[in-house]
Amino acid sequence: MKQDAQRSGLFQCQTCGLVWFGRSDIQECPDAPHGKPVHVALLCRTCDAIVPIDHLASHIKGELHQNGISN
């Protein structure tokens, strides 16, 4: 799971909980100097898959989600 989080492209502030993507060069929370962010994974609650941010659109357009089927 740790490797999935590092590849996800999502970051979260450990202090305020803000989540952002697309700026791996930001070393602190963009809202305030809260310290170093952590990598987080995006978990689909419909199918429990870990989804990288660059696959999010195709994931939710997939057959499983279009048909409303959950595991």
Q: Which helix (DSSP H) or strand (DSSP E) does residue 48 occupy?
A: none
Q: Assess if residue 71 is contained within a domain.
A: no
The phi and psi torsions of 11 (rounded to 5 degrees) equal -130, 150
The number of distinct structural domains making up the chain is 1
Q: Which of 29, 22, 63 is nearest to 46 (CA)?
A: 63
d(CA 64, CA 66): 6
Q: Assess if residue 32 is contained within a domain.
A: yes
One pLDDT digit (tens) per residue for the chain, 71 residues: 777 777 777 889 999 999 988 777 777 888 888 988 888 888 888 888 888 888 888 998 887 787 765 54
pTM check: above 0.85:
no
- State the Cα torsion 58-70-10-40 to the nearest 10°: -150
Q: Assess if residue 60 is contained within a domain.
A: yes
Query: Where in the sequence is the domain holding 6, given as residue range(s)?
Result: 2-66
Q: Assess if residue 49 is contained within a domain.
A: yes
Instruction: Name the amino acid, one letter, at 32.
Output: A
**Tokens of residue 26, six digits:** 């930001």
